[in-house]
Structure 1
Amino acid sequence: MATPGSYLVLASQRSGSTLLVESLRATGVAGNPEEFFQYLPETGLAPQPRGWFAPVTNPDVLELLDPLDPGTPTTESAVDWRARILRAGKSANGVWGGKLMWNQTPLLVDRAAGLPNRSGSDLRSAIDDVLGDVLWVKVTRDDVVEQAVSFWRAVQTRVWCGRADPEVDARARYHPDGIAHLVTELRNQEFGWRKWFEDNDIRPLEVGYEELTSDTTKVVAGILEALGLDPAAAPPPALEKQGDLRSNEWAERYRADAASRGLPL
C-alpha cells in the first residue's frame, strides 16, 4: 500500500466540493481539508457577496447583497502561514487535505511569494513549495446554470452548506443579471483550470457532480484508494444537497430569460 500523502481538491463554487471534502474529513484518515487559500490579505476574510460582483453596476443586483465588511488586514508571515496550513490540514496519520478554487489561485501565488528558497514564481511552483507533491482531485458540475443559481442563492443568504433558515432564504430574490454574471464567472474558472492542466501536463482524478451527489461513498472510497488508504473508511454523505424546487424553478426561469435576452448559458 502506498504511503499516505497529500491531496488538493480543485473546483469552482457550488460544484459539490464541500460535500466531497466534508465526507473525506469524516473518514478520520483523509486529512482535515479546508478552503485554506480563500482569505484576502487586506481583510482577513473570504470574498464577500459584493466582492463577487465588483464589475457589476446594476443597482437592482447590488441591493440584494450585504455591504462589504472591512475586516482586519492579515499580518501573518508567509512562513507562519504555510506552517499553519500544513498543520491544520493533517489528520493524525499524516495525510493532508485542502481545497483550492480557481479564483483563489492569485492569492496562493502572492502568499507563496514570501517564502524562502522558492522553486519558481508560477502557480505550480507555489503549490509545490507550499504543499509538496499532491494528488490532484478535480470536481466539475456540468450544469453551470444550476451551479450559478445555487451560487446566487448562497451569496444572498450567506449560507454555504446545509439549509438556510426559511426566513433568511425567503429574502433571496431571483435576478437574471445576477445569475448571468455568475454563469460567466464559473465558466471562466473552469476554463482556467482546464488550460492550467493542459499547460502543466496534469491529469487529475476527475469527480463529476452527478456521480458525487448520487454515490458519495463510492467517490470517497476511490479517492481513499488513490491515496493508499482503506476505501472501507468511506462514510455516508456528510452533507445533504441544498438544491430544491425553488432552485429548479429559478434555473428554468433563467434558461427562458437567457433565450429571450441573449444571456450566457
Structure 2
Amino acid sequence: MSDQPRSYLVLASQRSGSTLLVESLRTTGQAGEPQEFFQYLPSTSLAPQPREWFAGVDDENILRLLAPWKPGTPSMETPQEWRARILDAGRTPNGVWGGKLMWNQTPLLTAWADGLAGRQADDPDAGDLKTAIEDVLGPDVLLVHVARKDTVAQAVSMWRAVQTQVWRGRADPEVDARAEYNADGIAHLHAILEDQERQWARWFGEAGVEPLEIDYHELASDTTGQVARVLVALGLDPELAPPPALQRQGNDRSNDWIERYRAERISV
C-alpha cells in the first residue's frame, strides 16, 4: 500500500466523461475530493466563460446564444497559498488527493508552478508540464487519461453545455429549450476538442508518460468497473467502486443534432 500513488490527476478534454469518473471516485469517500482546480483564470477567478471559448469569432448567430461576459474578481492568492488550498480541498482524510486537468488549462497550471518554484521565463523548466505536476502534487502521481472517440458527439454536448451553462446533471427544460443548433458553433468546438486530444497524445510521447487509459464508452457502459481500475492503481479496495454517480445528459435532441451535423459537415 505504501508504494502506491497517493495523488491522481484525470487528464481529459471537455465532455469526455471525466466528470462521471471523478464524481464516482469522490462517492467512494476514499479517493480524494477531485475537482477541476486548474480551470480558474487568475484575472477573474472564474472558469472560462462561454464567450471565451469563441474568442475571435464575430458571428452574431453564435454570439447571441452565449451568456454575456462577467468581470469576476482577480485572484490575490500567492502561488504558495494557491497550492496549500487546492491540496487541502482535494484530499480525503486517508491522504488521497484527486484532481482533473484539461489541456487548455495546462498553461494555468504551469504558470502557478513556475511562480511556486520562482522560475523565470528563461529557466529550462519554465512552462514544462511534467515538472509543474511534480512541483504541485509531488513525484508519484497517477495520471488517468479519459478520452471520447466520438468527437462529434463530444462537440455537440459541449455546444449545448456552453449555451445552457449546465455542465453536470440535466438542465431545466426551459433552459435547455433555449439552446439552438448551430453547425458553425459545433464545428468551432469540435476543432478545439480534437486539438486538445492531439496535444495530450503529443505530450504523452514527448514526456514519456503512460497514463491509465479509460475510454468514454467503456466508462459509460461499466462505470463501476472503470472506477475500480483507478482504485486498484491507487492501492484502494476496488469493491468501493459505486454505481454511476451522474445521469447521462444526452437525449434524443442531442442525437438529432449529432446526425444533422454529420450530414452537413462530415465527409463520407
| TM-score, L = length of structure 1 | 0.96
- Aligned residue for 2:37, secondary structure, equals coil
Partner of 1:79: 80
Letter of the aligned partner of 2:261 in structure 1?
Answer: Y
Partner of 2:230: 223
The 5 Å alignment of 1:1-265 reads: 1=1, 2-3=3-4, 5-116=6-117, 120-121=125-126, 122-132=128-138, 133-259=140-266
- Aligned residue for 1:13, secondary structure, equals coil
Q: 1:137 to 1:153 in 2, by over 3 A?
A: same
Residues 104-144 of structure 1, C-alpha deviation per residue, up to 9 Å, x if partnerless?
Answer: 00011111121136693211111110011210100000000
Unmatched tracts of structure 1, length 5 or more: none
Q: After TM superposition, where is structure 1 displaced by more than 3 Å over at least 4 residues in a row?
A: 1-4, 116-119
Unmatched tracts of structure 2, length 5 or more: none
- Aligned residue for 1:198, secondary structure, equals helix
Does the CA contact (< 8 Å) of 2:5 and 2:142 recur in 1?
no
Residues 62-101 of structure 1, C-alpha deviation per residue, up to 9 Å, x if partnerless?
Answer: 1100111010000100000001111111011000000000
Distance, in Å, in 1 between the alignment partners of 2:236 and 2:255 is 37
Distance, in Å, in 1 between the alignment partners of 2:55 and 2:201 is 25
* Total equivalences in the alignment: 261
- Aligned residue for 1:33, secondary structure, equals coil
- Aligned residue for 2:39, secondary structure, equals coil
Letter of the aligned partner of 1:125 in structure 2?
Answer: T
Does the CA contact (< 8 Å) of 2:4 and 2:233 recur in 1?
no
Shift of 1:225: 0.4
- Aligned residue for 2:196, secondary structure, equals helix
Distance, in Å, in 1 between the alignment partners of 2:118 and 2:77 is 18
Q: Percent of pairs identical after alignment? A: 65
> What is the Cα-based RMSD across aligned positions, in Å?
1.3
Distance, in Å, in 2 between the alignment partners of 1:120 and 1:257 is 45
Distance, in Å, in 2 between the alignment partners of 1:145 and 1:120 is 36
- Aligned residue for 1:139, secondary structure, equals strand
Does the CA contact (< 8 Å) of 2:5 and 2:141 recur in 1?
no
Shift of 1:14: 0.2
- Aligned residue for 2:186, secondary structure, equals helix
Does the CA contact (< 8 Å) of 1:14 and 1:150 recur in 2?
yes
